[in-house]
Amino acid sequence: MCGIVGYVGSASSAPILIDGLRRLEYRGYDSAGLAVHGSRAIEVRRAVGKLRNLEAALAERPLDGHVGIGHTRWATHGRPSEVNAHPHVAGPIAVVHNGIIENHLELRRRLVAAGCTIASDTDTELVAHLVHLEVERGKDLESAVRAALGEVRGAYAIAVLSSREPDRIVVAKASSPLVVGLGDGENFCASDIPALLPYTKRMLFLEDGEMAVIEAGAVQVTTIAGKPVERAPRVIDWSPVMAEKAGYKHFMLKEIFEQPRALEDTLRGRLDRENGDIHGHEIGLSDADARAIDRVVLLACGTSHHAALAGRYFIEALAKVSTSVEIASEFRGRDAVIRPGDLVIAVSQSGETLDTLIAAKEAKAKGAKVLSIVNVIDSAIPRMSDATFYTHAGPEIGVASTKCFSTQVANLLMFSIWLGRRRDTLSPARAAELVEGLARLPQTMKDVLSGTRQLVANLARRYVDARDVLFLGRGLSFPIALEGALKLKEISYVHAEGYAAGEMKHGPIALIDNRVPVFVLLPKDSHHERSLSNLQEAKAREAIVIGIATEGDEQARTVSDDLVEVPDIAEELTPFLTVLPLQLYAYYVADFKGTDVDQPRNLAKTVTVE
């Protein structure tokens, strides 16, 4: 989730681009760069790390020019380094890009075969070379970008300069955000509204499959196929702070609603819908390795541990490999048995959690192969792992993890499908069903979020003063119960417990009385009947029962005081839907209580202490 920005006008472009990038830093910040039309050629400055490093580079070697593009990077392909930082240059062309090019391997092979020298590990540089080749064939910049994009599959918002046409920027969009800002004798582009608000409030929003030629006095929008588009500008009256959160009150709420997009980006290029399989080259195991795995050990902390618990269900059910899940700090504390045939999977949003890092290192020292599932590219855990299957949720700013949880669960499910196919424990037909279900999931999640938001906010208002809250679930709903309780605890400071629903009768049921809201997760799955009995047990002790159930479940409706419905979906996909109302519930309780939702007390986003 990078940020891009562009300027065409009569002012000096570099300060405007830097200012825009600073307002986009929340989208990612491992490196940054600018390309500006100088007096004769395009000049580029790039730097690793925070924007101030780029500013220092500019102070040493300033850039002077009225047309330029800038980028702040959140790495997806290639580690954070100066050579991987944008803009990427090929001949007279400079490109900045936000998104993921799916067919990058194939494009790289073709470009190398065509004689291109590719300097970076990025997918973006390939776009620069494709445009350059088209320019060499005699096309102007607009036609060259159009032709190049014909070869690209995936998500992108790009801004392109050519030293042969120094009065313009060509931009294009597919799935990644891009907005054009309209000024007086100057025009702009950016990934997001906040970058442009100090300069203009008149914005043109490009749709997927559209591009624009931006000059100081005119902006022309067309489809990438070349059809003219008439688009009226909109006037944005957000304050800059509101804009950074896309109009949401908190980053956490924004990130909850970003989950469909985060899922889409994480699934992109990995679902093999033709063969009902997963493209698994990032998993770093051969088919023979996959068949030889004796045992899987998942290591993680906090929310990532809950994702790992869901992962165990997937791996055992789909790939029939014995799997254990370890809280990383506890794994470290004892001399756990790890054998060379074991595959250890370290799950971490930040990739820097010290307990997980040390536990993974210990396992590796004992001979296990380490695969990691991490969101922050090239962080400490990927660096020590044998392979990393990244989630592509983009930077998560709210301390309470939401979108990273969903994408971790998605990667664990994809891994399990991949493994099950290689071990012949998962039929092609069932795998195809799951792959199709995953492909449809972002839209279903969008529907659940919009369909349940108000209802859940009302529940939060009603039960905001409850001192204790319980969350119950069986099977795949058990980790979701744990996650619902953790979310509520950490941001609203309400005492909450998640329990395996079948454990209630062994003790915790004593906690229940008519002041305790009990969330019972009972989607229509193989545990449904027994979960319904647990709901009835709670009800019989006068609990306030809130059912999270499948649409049309009349039994759940009859016994619940309140009911939140989610669509009917394959059992393996239920966690993606049932977690959403629980995240929203925690959010609204915290918001009504007035706690610091994005930075709850005593918590840090990345825990690098033991």
Query: What are the catalytic residues?
Result: 2, 605
Residue selected from 224, 293, 371, 400 as contacting ligand F6R according to rule CB under 6 A? 400
CB atoms within 10 A of CB 507: 9
Least distance to ligand F6R from the beta carbon of 490, Å? 6
Angle between helices 124-136 and 141-149 (to 10 degrees): 130
Q: Does 259 bind ligand F6R (CB under 6 A)?
A: no
Q: Does 385 bind ligand F6R (CB under 6 A)?
A: no
* Residue 307 near residue 300, CB atoms below 8 Å: yes
Q: Does 490 bind ligand F6R (CB under 6 A)?
A: yes
Per DSSP, the chain holds a count of helices (H) and strands (E) of: 19, 26
- Judged by beta carbon, residue 214 or residue 371, the one nearer ligand F6R is 371
Site string for ligand F6R, 438-477 (x = CB under 6 A): ----------------------------------------
Per CB under 6 A, contacts with ligand F6R among 167-226 are none
Minimal CB distance to ligand F6R: which residue? 302
Q: For residues 540 and 538, give the distance between their C-alpha atoms in angstroms, rounded to a whole number.
A: 5
Tokens of 443: 């839209």
Per CB under 6 A, contacts with ligand F6R among 305-364 are 348-350, 353, 356
Site string for ligand F6R, 99-138 (x = CB under 6 A): ----------------------------------------
Least distance to ligand F6R from the beta carbon of 388, Å? 13
- Judged by beta carbon, residue 12 or residue 606, the one nearer ligand F6R is 606
Least distance to ligand F6R from the beta carbon of 254, Å? 15
- Judged by beta carbon, residue 98 or residue 350, the one nearer ligand F6R is 350
Q: Does 391 bind ligand F6R (CB under 6 A)?
A: no
Least distance to ligand F6R from the beta carbon of 207, Å? 34
Q: For residues 25 and 21, give the distance between their C-alpha atoms in angstroms, rounded to a whole number.
A: 6
Least distance to ligand F6R from the beta carbon of 409, Å? 13
* Residue 144 near residue 172, CB atoms below 8 Å: no
Q: For residues 196 and 76, give the distance between their C-alpha atoms in angstroms, rounded to a whole number.
A: 25
Q: For residues 136 and 120, give the distance between their C-alpha atoms in angstroms, rounded to a whole number.
A: 21
Compute and round to an integer the Cα radius of gyration of the chain.
25
Please choose, out of 67-75, 77-85, 258-266, 301-309, the segment that lies near ligand F6R by the rule CB under 6 A. 301-309
Residue selected from 191, 259, 401, 534 as contacting ligand F6R according to rule CB under 6 A? 401
Q: Does 302 bind ligand F6R (CB under 6 A)?
A: yes
Cα→Cα distances 397→244, 250, 252, 451, 492, Å: 11, 10, 7, 25, 17
Residue selected from 271, 301, 426, 494 as contacting ligand F6R according to rule CB under 6 A? 301
- Judged by beta carbon, residue 14 or residue 253, the one nearer ligand F6R is 253
Partners of 37 in the beta sheet?
Answer: 42
Tokens of 419: 């493994």
- Judged by beta carbon, residue 9 or residue 382, the one nearer ligand F6R is 382
- Judged by beta carbon, residue 157 or residue 485, the one nearer ligand F6R is 485
Angle between helices 574-593 and 403-422 (to 10 degrees): 170
Least distance to ligand F6R from the beta carbon of 150, Å? 39
Question: Residue 511: left if φ>0, alpha if ψ -120 to 50, beta else—which one?
Answer: alpha
- Judged by beta carbon, residue 401 or residue 416, the one nearer ligand F6R is 401
Least distance to ligand F6R from the beta carbon of 250, Å? 14
The residue type found at 562 is D
- Judged by beta carbon, residue 243 or residue 354, the one nearer ligand F6R is 354
Least distance to ligand F6R from the beta carbon of 566, Å? 21
* Residue 9 near residue 36, CB atoms below 8 Å: no
Residue selected from 246, 432, 455, 607 as contacting ligand F6R according to rule CB under 6 A? 607
Q: For residues 436 and 100, give the distance between their C-alpha atoms in angstroms, rounded to a whole number.
A: 21
Q: Does 303 bind ligand F6R (CB under 6 A)?
A: yes
Least distance to ligand F6R from the beta carbon of 429, Å? 34
Collapsed DSSP state (helix, strand, coil) of residue 599:
coil
Tokens of 472: 């119950």
Number of amino acids touching ligand F6R (CB under 6 A): 15
Q: For residues 140 and 137, give the distance between their C-alpha atoms in angstroms, rounded to a whole number.
A: 9
Tokens 């690793």 appear where? 48
Q: For residues 504 and 497, give the distance between their C-alpha atoms in angstroms, rounded to a whole number.
A: 11
- Cα atoms in the Cβ-side hemisphere of radius 13 Å centred on 207: 8
- Judged by beta carbon, residue 104 or residue 250, the one nearer ligand F6R is 250
Collapsed DSSP state (helix, strand, coil) of residue 510:
helix
Partners of 575 in the beta sheet?
Answer: none
Q: Does 388 bind ligand F6R (CB under 6 A)?
A: no
Q: Which positions lie near ligand F6R, rule CB under 6 A?
A: 301-304, 348-350, 353, 356, 400-401, 486, 490, 606-607
